[in-house]
Homo-oligomer: A and B are copies of this chain.
């Protein structure tokens, strides 16, 4: 058959999936995804863009039953999903399914979180819904990548809304028919243009995906008839939003080959293509105790795509600096880290970093993969230090360790929630599968 029943197959997967069948590794990775997302979401809550969104829609929001993480406020679940979705995306520090470039937690986790405060949801059900959402979003993404993203779609929004609907359908216990309707109702709300990457409207994509995916499942539960084939139909999601549509990739290996295991987390708050170079710089600093003022020259060789996207010797804002390979390499050497704290508007004026970035000579090398880099540092007294990064830290082959992931969350969350609540939040997310009520997570993420 040329066009198999993709929507129905995905719906069957959603309906029939059992938490008991989730491999331990998948549960573990999903918990790591949750830990990483919660950190970024709490950390992002105080960003001014979140304030603009809240001022716009807050006056029209409903009963305050769902937490907006890190914000000190509750609102209705749909509005909470919008805000937590936007908040998780605003620092650009969220998880990445590398093959599709989907950031799966940002649109899916907020929808699950909102429902966990609206109805009784066990920790296992919460974790399972998150996994189901990730699987559905990323399988669909596999089937339309890379054309869909290249063409201009922000895939986190477009596939994310369907993933969020899948997750919520599972939590709401929808049957096959209603799950097909939910997936289709989500597909017809898919949106998000890459043109928004330059501004803050970008964060609406994950936010709306979370909110609209949740409401698609609620519509279906109440009986709103939509399509049984919203994803694969002739005028459905895949054919309208992508020239490539590999139907098999959207369904093959469901419940067997887990996309959740392919999820990765950023150790550095920068464009991901710059990560190998930063990693190399930090390694040399650590290995040789290098101080910035000893350095005469830094040579960085990277895959050409990294330079295409991040060659900017003199950035003037934090947003620009995070996409400047010269600046982030200098930051790695000066601070031994390149997180949010090292890349604020204030920090990027740091004289030592500004001086050092002038010494960075970045060049393209076709022989290097995207997660590779070669870094060579010459000291003023003539010593030479070199390293080859085979797989950047945070890549699939060299993932962030659990302690580093927890530290990332601490850095993001402690300024907002304080140390005690942050530790509690990490502990709850790590142990989510054992929670009697998953609502404890959102409650722990509430700022005082």
Contact of A194 among B76, B223, B235 (CB under 8 A): B235
Residues 280-309 of A, flagged 1 when their CB comes within 8 A of B and 0 if not, give 000000000000000000000000000000
Q: Does A41 contact B (CB under 8 A)?
A: no
What residue of chain B has the Cβ atom nearest to residue A203's Cβ? B224
A240 surroundings in chain B (CB, below 8 A): 151-153, 193-194
The distance in angstroms between the C-alpha atoms of A55 and B48, with both chains bound, is 34
The distance in angstroms between the C-alpha atoms of A59 and B55, with both chains bound, is 21
Q: Does A208 contact B (CB under 8 A)?
A: yes
* A219 and B204 contact, Cβ closer than 8 Å, known pairs A57-B78, A78-B57, A224-B49: yes
Inter-chain contact A218/B62, CB cutoff 8 Å:
no
A223 surroundings in chain B (CB, below 8 A): 48, 52
What residue of chain B has the Cβ atom nearest to residue A233's Cβ? B195
* A79 and B52 contact, Cβ closer than 8 Å, known pairs A188-B193, A233-B195, A234-B152: no
Inter-chain contact A219/B184, CB cutoff 8 Å:
no
A187 surroundings in chain B (CB, below 8 A): 193, 195
State the Cβ distance, A113 to closest chain B Cβ, in Å: 15
The distance in angstroms between the C-alpha atoms of A331 and B433, with both chains bound, is 61
State the Cβ distance, A20 to closest chain B Cβ, in Å: 30
A219 surroundings in chain B (CB, below 8 A): 52-53, 56, 201, 204
Q: Does A230 contact B (CB under 8 A)?
A: yes
Residues 45-65 of A, flagged 1 when their CB comes within 8 A of B and 0 if not, give 000110111011101111100
* A230 and B59 contact, Cβ closer than 8 Å, known pairs A190-B191, A205-B188, A240-B153: no
Inter-chain contact A60/B62, CB cutoff 8 Å:
yes
User: A149-188: which residues lie under 8 A (CB-CB) from chain B?
Assistant: 151-154, 181, 184-185, 187-188
What residue of chain B has the Cβ atom nearest to residue A217's Cβ? B56
A60 surroundings in chain B (CB, below 8 A): 62-63, 76-79
Q: Which residue among A53, A185, A188 has the maximum number of chain B CB atoms within 10 Å of its CB?
A: A188
What residue of chain B has the Cβ atom nearest to residue A55's Cβ? B222
What residue of chain B has the Cβ atom nearest to residue A154's Cβ? B188
Inter-chain contact A188/B184, CB cutoff 8 Å:
no
State the Cβ distance, A155 to closest chain B Cβ, in Å: 12
A233 surroundings in chain B (CB, below 8 A): 195
Q: Does A44 contact B (CB under 8 A)?
A: no
Inter-chain contact B198/A185, CB cutoff 8 Å:
no
State the Cβ distance, A229 to closest chain B Cβ, in Å: 7
Q: Does A268 contact B (CB under 8 A)?
A: no
State the Cβ distance, A314 to closest chain B Cβ, in Å: 22
State the Cβ distance, A274 to closest chain B Cβ, in Å: 21
Question: What is the interface of chain A, defined by CB distance below 8 A to chain B?
Answer: 48-49, 51-53, 55-57, 59-63, 76-79, 151-154, 181, 184-185, 187-196, 198-201, 204-205, 208, 212, 215, 218-219, 221-227, 229-230, 233-237, 239-240
Beyond the given A195-B235, A204-B224, please list 17 additional residue pairs across the A-B interface where CB-CB is below 8 A.
A53-B224, A56-B218, A56-B224, A60-B77, A60-B79, A152-B235, A181-B201, A184-B195, A187-B195, A188-B196, A191-B191, A193-B240, A195-B237, A198-B227, A199-B225, A200-B224, A201-B227
Interface pairs (29), CB distance under 8 Å: A49-B225, A53-B224, A57-B215, A59-B63, A60-B62, A60-B76, A60-B77, A152-B236, A153-B240, A184-B195, A184-B196, A184-B199, A185-B201, A187-B195, A188-B192, A188-B201, A188-B204, A189-B191, A191-B191, A193-B235, A193-B236, A193-B237, A195-B233, A195-B234, A196-B226, A201-B219, A201-B226, A201-B227, A204-B219
Q: Which 7 residue pairs are nearest across A and B when measured between Cβ atoms?
A: A201-B226, A152-B235, A152-B240, A56-B218, A194-B235, A60-B76, A199-B225
